[in-house]
Amino acid sequence: MLKKLFGNKQEHKEVNVLTPATGKYVDLRDVPDPTFSEKMMGDGFAVEPSEGKIVSPVQGKVVQVFPTKHAVGIKSEEGLDILVHIGLETVSMNGEGFTEHVKEGDKVNQGDVLIEFSLEDVKSQAKSTVTPVVFTEGDQIENITNKEVQDVTAGETEMCTVTVVSKK
């Protein structure tokens, strides 16, 4: 009884998510891969990059850098889990053309460089350069307010505001 009254408090925090790449905004539903376009991994957005640099979209902590360096997971200070996946079917590149600048456990600020990559290598060896940014834990999200954007600049353009719910 007391737990019902006092133990289920929820905290709501807003996270302003910036674009991790410079380029063109792509609606997640338009990503040419059903894992992302059908939101199987979560909601979010995508960018078709015009340069080979990925920066942190939030202030937080790096929770995973994939061994193939094609993706990085970040947990924002507010608790939002984010996956930045560089290109489509880039895992088959086995890290070739990718240089990571962070490792698991590193604290990052918005705009800090996470990974640099050869855009030309991704164009020639992968299915697409489109880079999905996915909020992987849907149950922690109360609301997503998307911004109206087209041309985006890494670490500068605000893509959306996500309201995160955490139980206390």
**How big is the CA angle at 137 (ends 46 and 161), to the nearest 5 degrees?**
55
Indicate if 101 belongs to the active site: no
Contact indicator for 73, 61 with CB cutoff of 8 Å: no
Q: Which of 12, 70, 85, 101 is catalytic?
A: 85
Tokens (6 digits) for 134:
């996915």
Tokens (6 digits) for 52:
């080979």
Torsion of CA 97, 101, 105, 111, to 10 degrees: -110
So which residues are the catalytic ones?
85
